[in-house]
Structure 1
Amino acid sequence: MVMAVFVPNNQPVSANDNNTSLRNQLDQLLTAEPALQGALAGVSIRSASDGKLLYQHQGDIRLRPASNMKLLTAAAAINVLGENYTFPTEVYADGPVKNKTLQGSLYLRGKGDPTLLKSDFDNLAAEIQKSGITKIKGNLIGDDSWYDDVRYSLDLPWSDEMTYYGAQISALTASPTTDFDSGSVRVEVRPGIHRWDKPEVMVTPKTKYVKIVNQAITVQADGKKKIIVEREHAKNTVLIKGTIPLKSKVEKEWVGVWDPSKYAVTLFQQSLTNHGISLAEKIRMGRVPDTARILSIHHSMPLSQMLVPFLKLSNNVHAEVLIKEMGRVVKGEGSWEKGLEVMKSGVVKFGVSPNTMVIRDGSGISHVDLIPANQLSQLLFAVQKEKWFSSYLNALPLAGAQDKMVGGSLRNRLKSPEIQGKVRAKTGSLSTVSSLSGYVNTKSGQTLIFSILLNNLLDESKGKKIEDKIVTILTNQ
């Protein structure tokens, strides 16, 4: 099927009878829906052409936004940092090179890039190899001082510590794949050849930084499939438990590592070794001295491109990195405190009032975050006027598009022919919370802005169905 290209149509919405019909349909849905009994729903609908509020239901009530918080973070970051902003990773030396030996230490300094891959470390090592260095007499030192050393946002649940979406935040980190789940490894579990065999386990990237303890077994083909992958607290020991049937599909799990800075330096050491560069001393953490000279530098993709994995895949670590980066660039301190100050002052430009909100992080993982739906719809209206809006819009998931980097978290939703390709929106999920905010092209050729925040749900999956029903009503206007 050919996917329709989403192009907002900003002709004004004017028919009062249409507005009455819209209000009646939405009121009926929100009052009759069983899943909303005992729950809270904030709904805000605006015209994309003039920002006129066409419908609201508890639109000024502060509700938990979940990952809809990322709409504010992305808008503030691209406005403050710019579409072409990149995150450098630098390699320094603090001594001369004699007989192909660096008479000193080698430094790897991170400046926040959340998209570093093992291949990027390979490229840095190749450049050092080309410079003629085959041995480092001193240490390999990682420098993550671009940000502070607070690794977790204020309200991150302890139960999320080992997950990829709750991974530690550092200025020096690495991702296992091009989904860019920074600070994590991917663990794949395949069934053994015979019953009672231990499953085969593969870690990406290949690294000894994590220790695998495999306690799982392969069972008969019709046996129960239940694989548990978990990391021990404050360690990089990953336990694999449970059962996996013969010939069953590979089980994949992403696990957040403990100390992503040292993880990144360890991967860099592997790259150096693979390029024939030996290390005489140890891996340490420290700061690049002022007297050191730069040997190599890697730049991330520009922020306009980074917004795609950030918003399409709802990457929590990217959100928190952007908060700390704004703090570092504007306030000289890479912390949540300073970064959130920048974000709150930045969104005022879009007619959003931080005084009506509680903002504790950039990702929305906090259960303390509170935003009214009317504020999110106002943000989405105002950003349309910005020169970077096309990048912002492109980064939002496109409903029903199967390509992960197009459809993102909406690739398996709103797939019917009359809706597919007509909605760009940010999803959100937390325990008891579901949210969806974005843009929809209607049957009459208009574009509407919507924000739906559902709180105190007993079943978040039912919240998704309610959101889809609301969006379907909007599409048919």
Structure 2
Amino acid sequence: MKRFLLLLAVVAAPLYAAAPAGFDDDEIALWAAPVEGGGEFEAHRADAAVNPASTMKLLTSWAALNRLGPNFRWQSEFKTTAALVDGVLQGDLYWLGRGDPRLDSARLTEMLRQLRLRGVRDITGRLLLDQSAWQGIGTAEGFGGDAERVFTVAPHTHQLNLKVAWLRYRFDDGRPQVALDPPLPGISVDNRLQLGDGASCGDVRRFVTVAQQGARLIVSGRLPPACDGAANYVNLLDSNEFAQQAFAALWQQLGGSGPRGLALASTPPGARSLLRWDSADTLASVLVDMNKYSNNTMARSVLLTVGAQYPASGNTLADGERSLRGLLAERGLPQQPLTLENGAGLSRRERVSARLLGEVLRDALRGAYGPELAASLPLAGEDGTLKKRLGEVGGSLRLKTGSLDNVRALAGYWQAPSGQRLVLVAIVNSARAERLTPQLDAAVAAVVARYQARLAAAAAGGL
């Protein structure tokens, strides 16, 4: 009888009455619940409104999978009202962008190659960017000091290479060389590199210094031969200029000439289509990059795409949020506490509760697109932002990380070898959040260990 009562006590593990070890009571919010079955397993301040940092991307992913489907593709299109005579487009070319978050130089090159195959050789008019797909992209305020960092790049209907160019290094007769990829006609590269020593390269930024002076990039340093083939990125130009210059450079590489200038304009109703192109990547593929490596620009683009596909108010971000909140209502999930600024977690304003985020995760894993969401999450100790964390936890632990000043977060699920799954959300809001990262990992590992004990007790007791 005593053995049975002990097993029953373990199986019916009490909810948290106090914060996990190492935390003050108001520093952490935690919620854990089984996917198979109802109820909760453990909770602490689960209904408090907290800043989730990048774990907010899970809410955006869930909404996008349900509203767009995992096989959704972004479409780009080139149109014109001008005549095409003997390979010469006698007027402007309209480029309708719809926010493909994975559009890069290789994919744009293939689009332009197809345009060449359709008979266009020379564009005598301008390249006109049609940005009408999005009206209102939202904000990410409070990051002014990081304005030049890649993680703050705003979404754009014509986002190319996430608005970064690559400096690619090679050696020619023993001399270090550097080239900009894609080549941008308005940017010159001043190569001041010298031959350096070293048997290995690693991060090439250890050896080079890049300075921008107007339209000139000055690249200096001592580059060892081991860095042949290495690359690092630079954030250049605004999105409109970047798209136009990359288009022109790639077009010329394909033997085309023009266009003559850039402008922003909506495509006239009577324009005819020269090329319609679906993105190479599906939504499910984009979510893998977005969540494993916590890409803010992609996340913001995904929520805007939901809004563009479900227009209602004329403000694309507001329509994305409206669609997300509508999905919460449809699934019988609470809409509060929830404050959205951009859906990426790159925000000082966004708020959610550990319970709401956890219930969304549980709904996702029980639904048709649970495998797609799960596959997008970093695997502890293996890849993405969890490559060097929590690898010692047994079973399959997949968690989205979140990191901002005063915020550290983990949210996802653990799967036992026997198949049972546990949703986990742990969010730290504290001035000492960064220092508490080891305690956060320990708290999550401890919840998993207690749930393992519950499963073992249930199996042993035949419950």
Q: TM-score range by the shorter chain?
A: 0.7 to 0.9
Answering whether residue 205 of structure 2 is matched by residue 205 of structure 1, we say no
Answering whether residue 121 of structure 2 is matched by residue 134 of structure 1, we say yes
Write out per-residue CA displacement over residues 448-473 of structure 1, whole angstroms, 9 at most, x where no aligned residue: 11100011142526415522452254
Paired with 1:435 and 1:74, the residues of 2 have a C-alpha distance of: 17
Is the radius of gyration larger for structure 1 or structure 2? 2
Asked whether the 8 Å contact 2:207–2:223 carries over to 1, the reply is: no
1:171 to 157, 180, 184: 157
Structure 2 unaligned spans of 5+? 1-5, 200-204, 454-463
Answering whether residue 293 of structure 2 is matched by residue 313 of structure 1, we say yes
Normalising by structure 2, we get a TM-score of 0.83
Write out per-residue CA displacement over residues 341-386 of structure 1, whole angstroms, 9 at most, x where no aligned residue: 2222223334432232222221001011111111111111122332
> Closer, same or farther in 2 for the Cα pair 1:69/1:127, shift >3 Å?
same
Matches within 5 A, 1:409-428: 409-416=385-392, 419=394, 422-428=396-402
Q: In structure 2, what is the equivalent of residue 63 of structure 1?
A: 50
Q: Answer with 250-259 or 286-295: which moved more.
A: 250-259
Answering whether residue 296 of structure 2 is matched by residue 296 of structure 1, we say no
> Which SS does the other structure have where 1:53 is aligned?
coil
Q: In structure 1, what is the equivalent of residue 37 of structure 2?
A: 50
> Which SS does the other structure have where 2:60 is aligned?
helix
Matches within 5 A, 1:466-477: 466-475=440-449, 476-477=452-453
Q: In structure 2, what is the equivalent of residue 408 of structure 1?
A: 384
1:160 to 146, 154, 160: 146
> Closer, same or farther in 2 for the Cα pair 1:239/1:329, shift >3 Å?
farther
1:393 to 374, 392, 397: 374
* Cα displacement (A) at 1:43: 0.7
Give the residue type in structure 1 aligned to 2:256: I
> Closer, same or farther in 2 for the Cα pair 1:427/1:80, shift >3 Å?
same
Q: In structure 2, what is the equivalent of residue 101 of structure 1?
A: 88
Paired with 2:17 and 2:165, the residues of 1 have a C-alpha distance of: 46
* Cα displacement (A) at 1:411: 2.4
Q: In structure 2, what is the equivalent of residue 277 of structure 1?
A: 256
Give the residue type in structure 2 aligned to 1:336: L
> Closer, same or farther in 2 for the Cα pair 1:207/1:397, shift >3 Å?
same
Q: In structure 1, what is the equivalent of residue 339 of structure 2?
A: 358
Paired with 2:12 and 2:446, the residues of 1 have a C-alpha distance of: 17
Write out per-residue CA displacement over residues 404-425 of structure 1, whole angstroms, 9 at most, x where no aligned residue: xxx3222222223x52x61112
* Cα displacement (A) at 1:218: 8.0
Q: Answer with 182-191 or 51-60: which moved more.
A: 182-191
Q: In structure 2, what is the equivalent of residue 382 of structure 1?
A: 363
Paired with 2:318 and 2:219, the residues of 1 have a C-alpha distance of: 37
Asked whether the 8 Å contact 2:195–2:225 carries over to 1, the reply is: no
* Cα displacement (A) at 1:435: 0.6
Superposed CA RMSD in Å reads 3.4
Give the residue type in structure 2 aligned to 1:18: V
* Cα displacement (A) at 1:228: 6.2
Asked whether the 8 Å contact 1:183–1:257 carries over to 2, the reply is: yes
Paired with 1:15 and 1:229, the residues of 2 have a C-alpha distance of: 63
Q: In structure 1, what is the equivalent of residue 310 of structure 2?
A: 330
Q: In structure 1, what is the equivalent of residue 352 of structure 2?
A: 371
Percent identical:
22
Give the residue type in structure 1 aligned to 2:299: A
> Closer, same or farther in 2 for the Cα pair 1:236/1:427, shift >3 Å?
farther
Asked whether the 8 Å contact 2:35–2:366 carries over to 1, the reply is: no
* Cα displacement (A) at 1:67: 0.6
